[in-house]
Amino acid sequence: MKNVLMIFALVFGMNALVLAQGKGNQVSVETRATKAADKWKTELGLTDTQRQQFYDAKVQQLTKKKDILAKHGQDKKKAGAELKANNAEFDAKVKTIFTDEQYTKWKTKKEEYKKQRLIKKGKNGKLPSSEEIENEIDDL
């Protein structure tokens, strides 16, 4: 009986440790938005004003995404339509912030990064199907 209790305590303790570590890896919305804004400022040559506008739009998008996922219990499949609408709204805002050339380059780079992420997730380095690419929810 003691062994059973010891095993139970050990398993419970390990689960608590894993959960605690997972929550520690969460990055704030502001940190993610800053990282994205700085990245795109460098890659696209954004002005300081464009960078700030992008940052503000990204904070709004990520906050809304967080709320949507909280509402659906982190289930991205259930939240899919709302997340896609949120991404479309963000995309429309970005289009008003960037020049046509910057916007085109941004869209192209986003697709490249999405494919790279999917390949890393995929098996044996194979390129994912177009359906998998469409279903990928992008944070960039």
The Cα–Cα gap between 12 and 60 comes to: 38
The pLDDT value recorded for residue 127 is 56
Residue 116 lies in a domain: yes
Residue 13 lies in a domain: no
Residue 5 lies in a domain: no
Residue 9 lies in a domain: no
Residue 14 lies in a domain: no
Entry pTM: 0.68
The Cα–Cα gap between 136 and 91 comes to: 15
The Cα–Cα gap between 60 and 38 comes to: 16
* Parent domain of 80: 29-135
Residue 88 lies in a domain: yes
Residue 79: how many other CB atoms lie within 10 Å: 20
DSSP summary character for residue 137: P
pLDDT by residue, tens only, the chain of 140 residues = 666 555 655 555 555 555 555 455 578 999 999 999 999 999 999 999 999 999 999 999 999 999 988 888 877 777 888 889 999 999 999 999 999 999 999 999 998 888 887 777 765 555 555 555 555 544 45
> What's the structural domain count of the chain?
1
